[in-house]
Amino acid sequence: MNFDDQLKRSMENIHTKGHTRVRKITLAAFQRIVTASPVDEGTFRANWLLSLTTLDRSFDLNLKEEDVPATINQSVAIINAKAVAGSVIFICNSVPYAVALEHGHSPQAAGGVVEPVCKIMAAAIRAGRI
pLDDT level of residue 7 (50, 70, 90 thresholds): low
More confident residue, 2 or 9: 2
- Share the mean pLDDT of the chain: 92
Q: Where are the alpha helices (DSSP H) in the chain?
A: 3-36, 43-46, 68-82, 98-102, 114-126
pLDDT in tens, 45-83: 999 999 999 999 999 999 999 999 999 999 999 999 999
